[in-house]
Homo-oligomer: A and B are copies of this chain.
Amino acid sequence: MSLTPEQQAQIEAQRAGRRETRRVVAEGLEDRLYQAVPVLDHGFVRVVDYMGDDSAIVQAARVSYGQGTRHARDDAGLIRYLMRHWHSTPFEMCEIKFHVKLPVFVARQWIRHRTANVNEYSARYSILDREFYIPAPEDLAAQSTVSSQGRGAVLEGAEAQRVLETLKADSTQAYDHYQDMLGTDGQQGLARELARMNLPMNIYTQWYWKIDLHNLMHFLRLRADAHAQYEIRVYAEAICELVAAWVPATWQAFEDYRLNAAQFSGPALAVLRRMLAGEAVTQETSGLPKGEWREFEAMLKG
């Protein structure tokens, strides 16, 4: 992560400010507020504001005049009930706002989640910084040999070396040319909205991203998943920690009923029942296609 001293000072100034409020305060998150959590080589995610906490979910579920229930334990019980039975609207009553710095190709995946508010740094209006994502050697994965959409082993030796050098050299050159096209003394200078198109998709952009807790959990479920691309998953994982600090009871329920849960299809359930009745079922006798049998076995092993 590369914050300038000025940026660091602005963050510190915000953290130093304390004000009185009548609103609900999430103590666990206050401590993390504004701080940039480093992700990838130059990226970060930081919480810049939030609304509500665990009690706000209970309060909304009960449409109550006061705060939630009297005891945190009762709140947690209701939250678990709501999560288990797929009630979504009470979780929409909490909101969080992030400032995220991320490579453009990650931003392109991220933006597909439409139920959020976004304000991105404008490369029509401003000049982008010279910051590019270059994978760490251990993240330089080969194409998977079993899946069209996935990674295999880590690249090694000369090939790894060559790839890293290509990525670095091309980024540097693209940015040099970007600057050249923007013009120097005595030149007109290409419009910023055009010059940016020479930049590769590993350049960093940044945005403010605001989302309610229900939709954030949906995002995390998809993007903190093992099948998500590594470069977006690390952002999701950083956010997971912040959510756990913000709404601990909801986080616990989310882990139990979503992240660590597994869904069995109708046909898979039928197989499961046969197994519980003592039958030794194999893929052949299961009736499940091979891919589904593999996933079924994986769920049973954990």
* Cβ distance A5 to chain B, nearest Cβ, rounded Å: 11
A161 at the interface (CB under 8 A from B): no
* Cβ distance A219 to chain B, nearest Cβ, rounded Å: 13
Contact between chains at B262 and A269 (CB < 8 Å): yes
Q: How far is the CA of A120 from the CA of B63 in the complex (A)?
A: 7
**Interface 9-mer from A44-52, A234-242, A243-251:** A44-52
A141 at the interface (CB under 8 A from B): yes
* Cβ distance A53 to chain B, nearest Cβ, rounded Å: 10
Contacting residue for A21 out of B25, B180, B182, CB 8 A? B25
Q: A159-B187, A174-B174, A200-B200 are in contact. Are A267 and B276 (CB under 8 A)?
A: no
Q: Which of chain B's residues have a CB closer than 8 A to the CB of A194?
A: 135, 140-141, 151
Task: Tell me how many chains of this kind the complex includes.
Answer: 4
Q: How far is the CA of A150 from the CA of B97 in the complex (A)?
A: 30
Contact between chains at A210 and B92 (CB < 8 Å): yes
Contact between chains at B197 and A200 (CB < 8 Å): yes
Contacting residue for A125 out of B14, B149, B302, CB 8 A? B149
Contact between chains at B190 and A142 (CB < 8 Å): yes
Closest B-chain residue to A66, C-beta based? B10
A217 at the interface (CB under 8 A from B): no
Q: Which of chain B's residues have a CB closer than 8 A to the CB of A140?
A: 190, 194
Contact between chains at A208 and B60 (CB < 8 Å): yes
12 sample A-B contacts, Cβ–Cβ < 8 Å, listed by A number: A10-B66, A11-B65, A14-B66, A18-B22, A19-B20, A50-B51, A159-B183, A196-B201, A199-B201, A257-B266, A260-B269, A263-B264
- 7 nearest A-B pairs in the assembled complex, by CB-CB distance: A260-B266, A10-B66, A92-B117, A142-B188, A197-B202, A114-B114, A51-B51
Q: Residues of A at under 8 Å CB distance from B?
A: 3, 6-7, 10-11, 13-15, 17-25, 30, 33-34, 48-52, 56, 59-61, 63-67, 84-86, 89-90, 92-93, 95, 97, 99, 103-105, 107-108, 111-112, 114-115, 117-122, 124-126, 133, 135, 140-144, 148-153, 155-156, 159, 162-163, 166-167, 170, 173-174, 177, 180-183, 187-194, 196-202, 206-208, 210, 212, 222, 227, 229, 255-257, 259-270, 272-273, 275-276, 292, 299-302
In addition to A125-B149, A143-B188, 11 A-B residue pairs with Cβ atoms within 8 Å of each other are A7-B65, A50-B51, A63-B119, A93-B117, A133-B197, A140-B190, A143-B191, A151-B191, A159-B183, A198-B202, A276-B276
